[in-house]
Amino acid sequence: MAHAHESNVGRIWKVFAILSVVTIIEVILGIYKPDALHRQYFLGLSLLNWIFYGLTIFKAYYIVWAFMHMEGEKSSLRWSVVLPVVFLVLYLLFILLTEGHYIYGVFKDSTIKWNF
């Protein structure tokens, strides 16, 4: 590790500031839920929820890259950790959410009733 002895304190506090600001934005949006975002839909999800997920990924990136110091690792380690997770999570979400939506449709359109 060539960078082992230099101090990263400045960057750490900067990342903390970024994470805090993003969290505050999330909380403010979560409390006020502006109609312009809350009632607009894109691919079945409201814009507000897209923003929440986007900010979450943004925060996750900073935690992994700066705090877990992924940016200092070799790119082979980086890819062998990040790629399987990203691929499998997307795959899992695609299958489960599609199925969940399908079952919703089954309950809605047929004579079967769940909770009444």
Partner 1 sequence: MEATVTTANNDEKTWGGGDIQPLGASYGKMMMWFFIVSDALTFSGFLAAYGFSRFKFIETWPLPDEVFTHFPFMHGVAAPMYYVAFMTFILIFSSVTMVLAVDAGHQMKKNKVIVYMFLTIIGGLIFVGSQAWEWKNFINGEYGAIETKGGSILQFVNKEGKQVALADFAATLPEERTQLSRSHGTWFMEEPSRSQYSVAEVQAGFKAHPDLLIRTEVIKDKQKTILSRAESEQRLGQAAYVVEGANLERNEYGNKLFADFFFFITGFHGFHVFSGVIINIVIFFNVLLGTYEKRKSYEMVEKVGLYWHFVDLVWVFVFTVFYLV
Two tokens, residue 81: 């950790």
Within residues 27-56, the interface with partner 1 by CB under 8 A covers: 27, 29-31, 38-39, 49, 52-53, 55-56
Site size for partner 1, by CB under 8 A? 57
Q: Provide the angle, in degrees to the nearest 10, between the axes of the packed helices 9-32 and 47-62.
A: 160
CA distances 95 to 32, 84, 90, Å, are 32, 16, 9
Residue with tokens 């979400």, as numbered in its chain: 93
Residue with tokens 């814009």, as numbered in its chain: 47
Does residue 42 sit in helix, strand or coil?
A: strand
Residue from 21, 41, 71, 96 touching partner 1 (CB under 8 A): that is 96
List of residues contacting partner 1 (CB under 8 A): 4-9, 12-13, 16, 19-20, 23-24, 26-27, 29-31, 38-39, 49, 52-53, 55-56, 59-60, 63-64, 66-69, 73-74, 76-77, 80-81, 84-85, 88-89, 92-93, 96-97, 99-101, 103-104, 107, 113-116
